[in-house]
Amino acid sequence: MTETSVTPQAVQFIENDQPSLQSGAYTVTVSQTLSHSEIGGSDTRFSSTRIFHVEGDQFSLNPQTVYSVFPAASSRGSYTNVLPSIILKRSTLPWERRAALPAWEKCKASEETSENSHNSGAPWLALLLFHEDEVAQPEVVTVGKLSPPPQPSPTQNKEDPVSLLQIPTELLKKLLPSAADLKLLSHVRKGTHEDGSKIELSVVIGNRLPKPGINTVHLVSLEYFFGLKVESETPKKQEEQKQKVDKDNGTFTGIVSLHSWDFVCEVTNAQDHFRNLLTSLDVGTLKLACKDDKDGTVNPYLNKGYVPLKHHLRNFQTTVSWYHSPLLPGKNQQPFSFEFPVRAADRLLVYDREIGLFDSSYAAAWQLGRLLALQDKSLSINLFNWKRQYLQRKIVNRDTLHSADGNKPSSQPTEIDKNSIQLLFQSQRTNTTSGDVPQSILAWFKNLILLDSIPFNYLVPEPCLLPLESLRFFQVDTTWLACVIDGAFGIGDVLTQEAYYQQCKQKVLSYIQNSETVTGFLLRSQAIEHYPSLEIKGMDHQKKVLKCLRLERLSNNVMICLFSGVVTSITINQKPEALHFGFKADAQHRFVTLREPTTGDFLANATYRKYELEDSHWLDTSLGVLNMVQLSQGMQQAVNSKNPFTALELAVELLEGTCIVQFALENC
């Protein structure tokens, strides 16, 4: 396993994504003035007024809207130089509402009219970071208990729950970004999915650095600020709140918390949580180990991926048989020797006379294929109808041919032309299909060959094969695939002249036998949940990048990846749109390694590349709160840019790279 640093790849930053209409109530008035002699000669005015509402997230946020957070939730790492950030799936979300001014700023804004216009474009979302014991847990209240009450909405219910974070007003004054800072702390990032489709995300960055210990980050709404008139649910909470006010000798301000997470900041020499998770993975192949195999009877089977499982026989007896999944720990040693089609799963049971156990792997695969096909009602009907129509067409063509020759129809099936028998899986290599095979059938079997429909317990029959925080390489067993396909293909048999479609199926199985080797890996790790935008590449022994056939999450912490070809190593890193923001540090200062704002390349002159933070860049040094306006202006001058920095340029300068972790199969 090796690791290297990686610089940000091509990713597009946009200053903002203003929606056509912000959330709120709108009034539309249409008027028309007519003047004509027949209506008195004077102007007659007609008008109509309509009110409509644009609704959006306000007091709560669907958890599915959150794409990712950094630092990852519940993670531990050296985050003292990292600005927390959250990535949201809707690119317009930070600008769908207006940010309001807190009470202590309203007097100042009324004296300076320019402040109101400056505040009008500020996003309504902000990230506030709190260290241990600075604030209590948010209190769940209802919309009807908020004071002052928010503007009414037709879809708003007074009983809707609100997570209200009550912050000491004096602390909030020091933490809350100004309107100008807010504009710099939200931007839009464009990237691509694994399938090449475009993705637009909104990013909100915090303005405070973490401290050692537990840190909690809240995504808060700045649309409303509430006083302490909110009634607590219990007298105990009221008393606790009163004690906090007395202890603080001040007041509290309520802010709606839309999302929150916590992490532990450690002062260590370790790198980020992402690297720690990957470098500590247990890497190997998909097989068990038996340390007590003194006579060497069991390990040869375990090394091939077999596990012993209960086997219920047809005579109602129970025994133990070997089973291996389609994911083998190495090259498939089993020759393609079965004669298809088979009529029952028992035909595929292999008995080992040396140890007296059955190998039930291929029988289980065949039976599974039949069950999967029967479970899909649409496939069952389509497959039967296609077989019947295909057979009827071939019979008509054969009889017509023999009638023209003056011969009687033969009882033996004729050889089916190759062009109409390139059936299933032809689309695995090309995008075209041949014959009259319905697309629905092709798609179903294509997914089957990629193990898409295979239940997880058939892939990993024993939990110990894939323990927590592990990565397992494998090679797909084409014989196992041939059995599951034969089982699925065999439903809805056409009883007359069935040799026609059996020839057809044999062509399918021949394709499986002669197809390219498919390899891959299973990953079970917290990294999958904490870092959803992973970028994975597989290489063969010549370092050639292999085509990825499938990359999918099977659960919150399990991922499967299939490659076309023999994979010998893989690399895992975060995609560009998941990179985070922060600073580097030496013994004396925190600093930024400056880039060209337009290209993202590091400055060519190393003398001016290092930009150190000074006292003017902090709103409060003891609290670790940054003055983003001063910081952006300073970096603008340092890179000699004529245009003022926006959220776009600031994001480019603060962007931090991540690492690439490489795993080699030869080290397993």
For residue 538, tell me if it sits in a domain.
no
Tell me, what's the pLDDT at 545?
A: 94
Domain boundary among 504, 521, 538: 521
Tell me: do 184 and 166 sit in the same domain: yes
Residue 663 pLDDT level (bands cut at 50, 70, 90): very high
Q: Is the peptide bond before 210 cis (omega within 30 degrees of 0)?
A: no
Angle formed by the axes of helices 377-405 and 361-375, nearest 10°: 90
- Are the CB atoms for 459 and 326 separated by under 8 Å? yes
pLDDT tens-digit series, residues 321-367: 999 999 999 876 655 578 777 888 888 998 888 888 989 999 999 99
pLDDT tens-digit series, residues 118-151: 445 789 999 999 998 898 889 999 988 887 777 7
Tell me: do 162 and 124 sit in the same domain: yes
Between 464 and 440, residue with greater pLDDT: 464
Tell me: do 289 and 268 sit in the same domain: no
Domain boundary among 260, 277, 294: 277
For residue 623, tell me if it sits in a domain.
no
For residue 652, tell me if it sits in a domain.
no
Tell me: do 269 and 329 sit in the same domain: no
> Cα(534)–Cα(574) distance, rounded to whole angstroms?
5
Tell me: do 100 and 150 sit in the same domain: yes
- The three-point CA angle 200-257-620 to 5° equals 90
For residue 622, tell me if it sits in a domain.
no
Tell me: do 313 and 225 sit in the same domain: no
Q: What is the dihedral of CA 148, 152, 155, 156, to 10 degrees?
A: 20
For residue 505, tell me if it sits in a domain.
yes
In 3-state terms, what secondary structure has residue 612?
strand
- Name the strand (E) or helix (H) holding 256: strand 252-265
Beta bridge partners of 252: 168
pLDDT tens-digit series, residues 79-99: 899 999 999 999 999 999 888
Neighbour count for residue 33 (Cβ, 10 Å): 9
Tell me: do 354 and 434 sit in the same domain: yes
Tell me, what's the pLDDT at 420?
A: 32
Residue 435 pLDDT exceeds 50:
no
Q: How many angstroms from the chain centroid is the CA of residue 61?
A: 18
Tell me, what's the pLDDT at 250?
A: 60
- Are the CB atoms for 121 and 22 separated by under 8 Å? no
In 3-state terms, what secondary structure has residue 601?
coil
Q: Could you tell me how many helices (H) and strands (E) the chain has, helices first? A: 17, 35
Tell me: do 189 and 296 sit in the same domain: no
Tell me, what's the pLDDT at 248?
A: 44
pTM of the predicted protein model: 0.63
Residue 574 pLDDT exceeds 90:
no
Tell me: do 167 and 219 sit in the same domain: yes
Q: Which two tokens stand for residue 374?
A: 């029967």
Q: What is the dihedral of CA 446, 448, 450, 456, to 10 degrees?
A: 160
Tell me: do 31 and 73 sit in the same domain: no
pLDDT, mean of residues 254-277: 80
Q: Which two tokens stand for residue 154?
A: 């037709």
For residue 451, tell me if it sits in a domain.
yes
Residue 301 pLDDT level (bands cut at 50, 70, 90): confident
Tell me, what's the pLDDT at 38?
A: 66
Residue 198: closest CA among 189, 208, 210, 206: 189
For residue 590, tell me if it sits in a domain.
no
Number of domains, the chain: 3
For residue 586, tell me if it sits in a domain.
no
Domain boundary among 480, 505, 521: 521
pLDDT tens-digit series, residues 188-216: 998 776 556 788 999 999 999 999 999 99
Tell me, what's the pLDDT at 539?
A: 95
Tell me, what's the pLDDT at 636?
A: 93
Residue 255 pLDDT exceeds 60:
yes
Residue 38 lies in domain: 11-53
Query: Over pLDDT 90: what percentage of the chain?
Result: 38
Tell me, what's the pLDDT at 514?
A: 54
Tell me: do 370 and 490 sit in the same domain: yes
Tell me, what's the pLDDT at 581?
A: 92
Between 284 and 490, residue with greater pLDDT: 284
Neighbour count for residue 308 (Cβ, 10 Å): 16
Tell me: do 384 and 267 sit in the same domain: no
Count Cα neighbours of 574 within 13 Å in the Cβ-side half-sphere.
Answer: 28
Residue 452: closest CA among 338, 376, 362, 345: 376
Residue 561 pLDDT exceeds 90:
yes
- Are the CB atoms for 262 and 217 separated by under 8 Å? yes
Contacts of residue 141, defined as CB under 8 A and 6 or more positions apart, other chains included, come to: 161, 162, 164, 230, 231, 232, 233
